[in-house]
A and B are shown apart, each in its own frame.
Chain A
Amino acid sequence: MKAAAFWGTLAAIFVAGLALTTVLENEYYYNALYLILQAMLMAVAWNILGGFTGYVNFGSAAFFAMGAYTTVALNKALGLPLPLLILAGGAVGGLVGFGLGYLTLRLKGVYFAIATLAMAIVIETFIANWTYVGGARGSYMLTPDKHLWFDSYIQMLFMVMLLLTLGAVAVSRMLNSSRLGRGLAAIRDDEVAAESAGVPTLRLKLVSTTVMGGMMGVAGAPFPYFVTFVDPVSAFNLFIAVNAIAMPMIGGTGHWIGPVIGALLVGTTQEIVKVTVSSELNVLIVGVMLVVFITLAPQGIVGLVKKHWKRKP
């Protein structure tokens, strides 16, 4: 996609979102769209480490929860406004991601993946024992009265999430097509070869994990305002981690558009199933889609499309 077309599309989507808030009143749609965008942001973030660099992160929910709990703690301590809370959530997530980056020095492949899973459990244990933010019992958040010029708070949150997600997609595209992105791809394909060819692997991996962690923290920061009640079970939910992995895997991991397609497909299916069938079954959907897709189409939808294009003369 050409740069002008890409930025034009992003701007058009943003304007469309703004226009939507003036015509559509039903709050359900903003709820659903917010959830899809949140999942998309997480998927785009996961793909930067998992898809571009080849390190599997099972602990996405921990980064998300770090963002959410940063909001809870700072809101309680200082009462900061939402934009600052999002920045803070991103900073905390990025910092944890930076630490995770150093872990890749000793842990490769499988061991790294298991370590991220264990890290999520450890962080959850700490949060559950931290009474200031509510501990295991959780804590309530009050929805602020002010919501700029929007009709309701959820409309504003939807626009905030739309802006954040579009930003993340832009960052992901820049990483994917830059010199840095080619370095990451080299690490994914063969880390030892990349290192010996002069690719600064550690520095690139640190960039990758920090950006991923920062994005996930950003995704989690508005979450307490969205649900108005946060406890470790909801913030560290396995569902978040599964979505973050499934969407890029289904869409296709190598390309920046993969997680976007996957999130649109899976997220929309989930919302439709939630309304038409049952809100319990929609959780199952993503697991089944993940297993079916990676068994039958390991390269995801992007891979299928590429194959199809190649076959044409």
Chain B
Amino acid sequence: MISADLFSNAVVSGLLLGGFYAAVAIGLAIVFGQLDIVNIAHPAFIIVGAYIAYILNSRFGFDPVFVGLLAAPAFFVVGAVIYRVYFLAFERTGQESLSGLAFFFGVMFIIEVVLILIYGVDYRLVQADYIGQSWRIGFVDFPLRMLVPFAVAAALTAAIYVFMSRTFMGRAIQAVAQDRLALQLMGADPVRIKQWAFGLGIATAAIAGSLLIVIGPVEPSVGRLYIGRAFAIVVLGGMGSIKGMFIAALILGIVESMVSTFAGPSWSPAVAFGVLAITLALRPAGLFGRR
């Protein structure tokens, strides 16, 4: 027999978790969903974002989310540079399928090992006033360390959504995804637009990283758990759909929360793969796919 308060707490914490997952997956929804670049190193950049939040928080007492916003422009530049290298080495020569994949795999591994070499495998955490607090409505808990990431992630998703549909650059990115050749015929440079989009995707990792370390302690290898999650969300939501991505993130959050409440937390990493496998088997285009 499932008790009502256990159930509703699981749903609420799943929703909050899912909102955070949207921040994790949104960069990939742009880079993989729109540009078809398989950046499996994306979660590694999120971990870098988390460590930057940790460093500035423990040194100067900055608020972690503020640090995330501060670091985003730097991440944008890094992302643009990485796309340049990727384009010159693989995309231009048509070798992105094998070499490009291995490239990002290598980048992910380098980031993880460098972080371990500098900071070790100890869990790091941040201090902020809201982290220990919790709101309570009825018998449902709203811990602020989950609510704040949810709110920031929702705002981030909304901002990207508006950017993609309203601004010139956002529409150009969608145009690259739809028809690259037509874009070239219109006199636009697809490489420059893709570089912009890739930078934007990596910039969101800075914010997602700061949220990750607000939710709980972080060590370098936790990023790997998010690879399956992020790709499951993007595929379930449908390639290229920001709205679908957000709904998929909430679904995954709730399912994971249910599994960890009723089957045990050690099973939750397997949930993302289940979702991914079922989606690919039943509806490969996802909920709101562009194909």
Question: What is A's interface to B at a CB cutoff of 8 Å?
Answer: 50, 54, 56, 58, 106-107, 109-111, 113-115, 117-119, 121-122, 124-126, 128-129, 136, 238, 242, 245-246, 249, 253, 280-281, 283-284, 286-288, 290-291, 294-296, 298
Q: Judging by beta carbons under 8 Å apart, are B267 and A125 in contact?
A: yes
State whether the Cβ of B114 lies closer than 8 Å to any Cβ in chain A. Answer: yes
Which label, helix, strand, loop or mixed, suits the secondary structure of the A interface? helix
Nearest chain B CB to A90 CB, angstrom units? 25
Q: Which residue in A111, A118, A249 is a CB contact (below 8 Å) of B228? A: A118
The chain B residue with its CB closest to the CB of A125 is B270
Nearest chain A CB to B167 CB, angstrom units? 28
A107: chain B residues within 8 A (beta carbon):
280
Question: What is B's interface to A at a CB cutoff of 8 Å?
Answer: 38, 40, 85, 89-90, 93, 95, 97-99, 101-103, 105-107, 109-110, 112-114, 116-117, 221, 224-225, 227-228, 231-232, 235, 264, 266-267, 269-270, 272-274, 276-277, 280-281, 284
In the bound complex, CA of A242 to CA of B103 (Å): 11
The chain A residue with its CB closest to the CB of B90 is A298
In the bound complex, CA of A114 to CA of B42 (Å): 13
Q: Judging by beta carbons under 8 Å apart, are A115 and B276 in contact?
A: yes
Nearest chain A CB to B252 CB, angstrom units? 13
A128: chain B residues within 8 A (beta carbon):
266
A114-B40, A121-B225 known; A249-B270 Cβ under 8 A: no
A115-B276, A280-B117 known; A287-B228 Cβ under 8 A: no
B264: chain A residues within 8 A (beta carbon):
129
Interface centre among A118, A245, A298 (most CB of B within 10 A): A118
Nearest chain B CB to A229 CB, angstrom units? 18
Q: Judging by beta carbons under 8 Å apart, are B273 and A118 in contact?
A: yes
Q: Judging by beta carbons under 8 Å apart, are A50 and B110 in contact?
A: no
Q: Which residue in B40, B110, B277, B280 is a CB contact (below 8 Å) of A117? A: B40
The chain B residue with its CB closest to the CB of A248 is B102
The chain B residue with its CB closest to the CB of A285 is B113
Nearest chain A CB to B118 CB, angstrom units? 11
In the bound complex, CA of A305 to CA of B89 (Å): 19
Smallest CB-CB A-B distances: 6 pairs: A118-B273, A290-B106, A291-B106, A287-B109, A118-B228, A287-B110
A125-B266, A242-B106, A294-B103 known; A56-B228 Cβ under 8 A: no
In the bound complex, CA of A124 to CA of B266 (Å): 11
A125-B269, A129-B266 known; A113-B101 Cβ under 8 A: yes
The chain B residue with its CB closest to the CB of A291 is B106
A286: chain B residues within 8 A (beta carbon):
109
Nearest chain A CB to B285 CB, angstrom units? 12
Residue contacts A-B, CB under 8 angstroms, 8 given: A114-B227, A114-B228, A115-B277, A118-B273, A287-B110, A291-B110, A298-B90, A298-B99
A110: chain B residues within 8 A (beta carbon):
38, 97, 101
Q: Judging by beta carbons under 8 Å apart, are B106 and A246 in contact?
A: yes
Q: Judging by beta carbons under 8 Å apart, are A56 and B98 in contact?
A: yes
Q: Judging by beta carbons under 8 Å apart, are B280 and A111 in contact?
A: yes
Nearest chain B CB to A298 CB, angstrom units? 5
A106-B280, A125-B266, A287-B113 known; A294-B102 Cβ under 8 A: yes
Nearest chain A CB to B254 CB, angstrom units? 19
In the bound complex, CA of A242 to CA of B38 (Å): 17
Nearest chain A CB to B65 CB, angstrom units? 28
Interface centre among A129, A246, A286, A295 (most CB of B within 10 A): A295
Nearest chain B CB to A113 CB, angstrom units? 6
In the bound complex, CA of A56 to CA of B232 (Å): 18
B90: chain A residues within 8 A (beta carbon):
298
A50: chain B residues within 8 A (beta carbon):
98
Q: Judging by beta carbons under 8 Å apart, are A118 and B272 in contact?
A: yes
Q: Which residue in A122, A245, A249, A298 is a CB contact (below 8 Å) of B273? A: A122
Nearest chain B CB to A286 CB, angstrom units? 8
Nearest chain A CB to B222 CB, angstrom units? 12
